[in-house]
């Protein structure tokens, strides 16, 4: 399923030898496989078959327009959290009635834009937000489709920085308060209650938290039905975890997750919305880098590469482990030793991978790639230390194209100016 494979010791992305791309583009750059994106989407689609569902791709995982367009062509919807993501989703051709809008801090401007574009639903996260949406909808003489994002108070496990479903997290409305908030929503003529929403966290690798959350949502929905609310969408959020250590996508967990959805909701006639991000894009992208230097301090070996926390934040922010491999496997001098692979940023946290076997004979200019970097990679990149922001390249069969240019320091300088008073003597 993954389209990054070694052929005769050289890494290929679909039909393209990655070293060939390196001849034309300097590192670091992100490289995506359109085939893997499509395969991931089709697989999830197939597994949900049998129920009424919508896959609303969570744009935050990778918002490159060509990635969005690839999914749009297969009928994907989108989960967006800003006007920027919404504009990108619309530009990529994702239908407005397949777009859900999440996030705790939607601004007035963002709400008005989403209303004008008649999105499928706002996932409302507080009473104040609910009232604001109602007011803006009334002002522009329209009605807003709303779902309440309820917080089921469930610990999803995994890294605390990406857990969202506990009542101490900032997200959603406590499920215990939600009935009153639905009653409140009913009073606004400009609001149309269409759904309910949860999202308990990301990179969840166990079924139990999903099971608990889905059960809670279903029983709450049954209660809402009895009270006469017309809930037509149940949005289950995202969160499917992937295995960062293996080459292949973890199908077993996906089967369990989708079976759970089907068995839990088989008797409802409602539309089940899922918002996967990572699952659809992580293994469809790599980050290609070159070796700059190596050095040994007190028997600890450092390999310094030209990609770091400014390109891929995940290791520094969440202690995430991404495997790094060479673009060209050696046939001679294959002995390895342990290295700490680091980036160029002046921060001790700028570690790309700790304690990993790398060829002893590794040298300046060798190409390496960081695997499964397609999700929360480029979207979280920054120009910290006034570095460039890496470009993005997409492969389709034997062809490839730059889908986002590298942003160079000169480009960033165009946005800055010296304050006028500093120019005087
Ligand atoms: N829906 C909502 C409302 C979300 O907040 C998220 C992710 C998703 C869907 C998609 O979740 P996924 O299927 O990708 O797990 N930067 C972190 C992940 C942060 C996730 C934020 N919300 C990382 O690199 O692991």
* CATH assignment of the domain containing 138: 3.20.20.10
| 241 CA: nearest ligand 1 atom | 15
Pair of tokens at residue 406:
């590298």
Cβ–ligand 1 distance for 240 under 6 Å, the answer yes
Nearest-CA residue for ligand 1 atom 22 is: 202
- Tally of CB atoms within 10 A around 45: 14
Q: Is 355 exposed, middle or buried (0-12, 13-18, 19+ CB in 10 A)?
A: exposed
Structure tokens, 200: 């308990």
My answer on whether 315 and 391 are in the same domain is yes
Q: Is the bond preceding residue 28 a cis peptide, omega within 30 degrees?
A: yes
Within a domain: 424: no
Cα 328 to ligand 1 centroid, rounded to whole Å: 33
| Residues 92, 65 contacting (CB under 8 angstroms) | yes
- What residues contact 319, with CB distance under 8 A and at least 6 apart? 159
Q: Is position 425 within any domain? A: no
Provide the 8-state DSSP code for 409: H
Nearest 5°: phi and psi at 296? -120, 125
Any domain includes 194: yes
Same domain, 256 and 291: no
8 Å CB contact between 291 and 303: yes
pLDDT score for 163 = 66
Q: Are residues 256 and 129 in the same domain?
A: yes
CATH number at residue 27: 2.40.37.10
101 lines ligand 1 (CB under 6 A): no
Paired strand residues for 151: 174
Shared domain check, 316 and 211? no
Q: Is residue 185 part of a domain?
A: yes
Task: For ligand 1, atom 5, name the residue with the nearest CA.
Answer: 199
Q: Decide if 165 is inside a domain.
A: yes
- 3-state class of 378 per DSSP? helix
What pLDDT does residue 128 have?
A: 97
CA nearest to 346, candidates 317, 315, 387: 387
CB of 103 shorter than 6 A to ligand 1: no
Q: Is 314 in the pocket of ligand 1 (CB under 6 A)?
A: yes
Best residue among 58, 243, 274, 373 to mutate for probing ligand 1's pocket (most ligand atoms within 8 Å of CB) is: 58
In whole angstroms, what is the distance from residue 13 CA to residue 32 CA? Answer: 8
Q: At what angle do helices 34-48 and 65-73 cross, to 10 degrees?
A: 40
Q: Can you give the residue range of the structural domain that contains 267?
A: 34-281
- Nearest-atom number in ligand 1 for the CA of 149 is 3
> In terms of domains, do 178 and 316 share one?
no
The full DSSP string for 247-291 is SS--HHHHHHHHHHHHHHHTT--SEEEE--SHHHHGGGEEEEEEE
Ligand 1 mean position to 332 CA, how many Å?
A: 42
165: Cβ below 6 Å to ligand 1? Answer: no
Strand order in the sheet with 16-17: 4-7, 10-13, 16-17
> Quick one: 272 and 374 in the same domain?
no
Q: State in Å: Cα 236 to ligand 1 middle.
A: 12
Taking the C-alpha atoms of residue 422 and residue 251, their distance in angstroms, rounded to an integer, is 60
C-alpha 276 – ligand 1 centre gap (Å): 8
Phi, psi of 342 (to 5 degrees): -130, 160
User: Is residue 91 a part of any domain in this protein?
Assistant: yes
Q: What is the pLDDT of residue 212?
A: 97
Map tokens 């190409």 to a residue.
367
- 60 CA to centre of ligand 1 in angstroms: 7
Q: Is residue 420 in a domain?
A: no
Quote the tokens at residue 157: 């496990």
Give the span between the Cα atoms of 11 and 305, in whole angstroms. Answer: 18
203 in contact with ligand 1, CB cutoff 6 A: yes
Backbone angles phi, psi at 320, to 5 degrees: -70, 145
Q: pLDDT at position 165, please?
A: 67
Residues 180 and 109 in one domain: yes
Nearest CA to ligand 1 atom 8: 238
Q: Which H or E element spans position 31? A: strand 29-33
Pairing outcome for strands 336-342 and 99-101: unpaired
Of 301, 315, 299, 298, residue with least CA distance to 351:
315
The number of domains in the chain is: 2
Consecutive H or E run containing 151: strand 144-151
Q: Are residues 309 and 277 in the same domain?
A: no
Per-position pLDDT tens, the chain of length 425: 579 999 999 999 999 999 999 999 999 999 999 999 999 999 999 999 999 999 999 999 999 999 999 999 999 999 999 999 999 999 999 999 999 999 999 999 999 999 999 999 999 999 999 999 999 999 999 999 999 999 998 987 667 776 666 777 888 999 999 999 999 999 999 999 999 999 999 999 999 999 999 999 999 999 999 999 989 999 999 999 999 998 776 789 999 999 999 999 999 989 999 999 999 999 999 999 999 999 999 999 999 999 999 999 999 999 999 999 999 999 999 999 999 999 999 999 999 999 999 999 999 999 999 999 999 999 999 999 999 999 999 999 999 999 999 999 999 999 999 999 999 87
Residues acting as catalytic residues: 346
Ligand 1 close to Cβ of residue 82 (< 6 A): no
Q: Which two three-digit tokens encode residue 230?
A: 């017309």
The tally of CA atoms less than 13 A away on the side-chain side of residue 189 is 5
158 lines ligand 1 (CB under 6 A): no
Provide φ and ψ at 392, rounded to 5°: -130, 135
Residues 332 and 406 in one domain: yes
| C-alpha closest to that of 279 among 201, 375, 369 | 375
Residue 206 Cα to chain centre, angstroms: 19
Question: Would residue 421 count as lying in a domain?
Answer: no
Judgement on whether residues 276 and 380 belong to the same structural domain of the protein: no
Q: Please give the Cα distance from 409 to 387 (Å, whole number).
A: 6
147 shares a domain with 59: yes
**CA–CA gap between residue 393 and residue 399 (Å, rounded):** 11
CA 376–ligand 1 middle distance (angstroms): 8
Predicted local distance difference test score (pLDDT) of residue 155? 81
Helix, strand, coil abundance in the chain, percent, nearest 5: 35, 30, 40
237 lines ligand 1 (CB under 6 A): yes
The helices-and-strands tally (H runs, E runs) of the chain is 13, 21
Q: How much distance in Å is there from the Cα of 1 to the middle of ligand 1? A: 23
Q: What is the pTM of this model?
A: 0.97
- Domain match, 95 and 204 both: yes
């Amino acid at each position: 399923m993954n389209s990054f494979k070694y052929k005769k010791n050289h890494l290929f992305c679909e039909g393209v030898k990655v070293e060939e791309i390196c001849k034309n583009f300097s590192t670091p750059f992100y490289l995506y496989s359109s085939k893997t994106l499509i395969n991931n989407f089709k697989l999830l689609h197939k597994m949900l078959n049998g129920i009424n569902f919508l896959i609303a791709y969570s744009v935050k995982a990778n918002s490159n327009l060509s990635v969005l367009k690839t999914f749009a062509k297969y009928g994907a919807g989108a989960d967006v959290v800003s006007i920027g993501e919404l504009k990108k989703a619309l530009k990529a051709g994702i239908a407005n009635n397949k777009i859900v809008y999440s996030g705790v801090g939607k601004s007035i401007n963002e709400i008005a834009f989403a209303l004008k574009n008649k999105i499928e639903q706002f996932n409302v996260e507080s009473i104040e937000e609910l009232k604001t949406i109602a007011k803006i909808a009334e002002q522009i003489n329209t009605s807003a489709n709303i779902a309440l994002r309820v917080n089921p108070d469930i610990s999803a496990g995994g890294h605390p920085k990406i857990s969202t479903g506990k009542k101490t997290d900032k997200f959603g409305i406590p499920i215990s308060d939600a009935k009153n908030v639905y009653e409140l929503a009913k009073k606004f003529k400009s609001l149309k209650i269409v759904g309910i929403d949860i999202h308990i966290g990301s990179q969840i690798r166990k079924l139990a938290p999903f099971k608990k959350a889905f059960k809670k949502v279903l029983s709450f929905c049954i209660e809402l039905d009895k009270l006469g609310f017309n809930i037509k969408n149940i949005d289950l959020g995202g969160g499917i975890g992937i295995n960062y250590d293996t080459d292949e996508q973890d199908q077993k967990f996906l089967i369990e997750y989708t079976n759970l959805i089907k068995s839990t909701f088989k008797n409802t006639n409602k539309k089940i919305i899922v918002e996967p991000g990572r699952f659809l894009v992580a293994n469809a992208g790599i980050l290609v880098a070159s070796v700059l230097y190596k050095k040994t301090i007190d028997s600890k070996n450092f390999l310094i590469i030209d990609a770091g926390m400014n390109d891929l934040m995940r290791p520094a922010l969440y202690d995430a482990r991404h495997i790094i491999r060479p673009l060209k496997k050696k046939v001679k001098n294959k002995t390895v030793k342990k290295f700490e692979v680091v980036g160029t940023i002046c921060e001790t946290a700028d570690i790309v991978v700790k304690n990993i076997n790398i060829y002893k004979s590794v040298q300046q200019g060798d190409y390496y790639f960081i695997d499964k970097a397609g999700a929360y990679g480029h979207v979280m990149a920054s120009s910290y230390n006034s570095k460039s922001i890496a470009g993005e390249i997409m492969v389709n069969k034997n062809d490839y194209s730059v889908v986002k240019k590298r942003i160079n320091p000169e480009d960033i300088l165009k946005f800055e100016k010296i304050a006028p008073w500093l120019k005087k003597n």
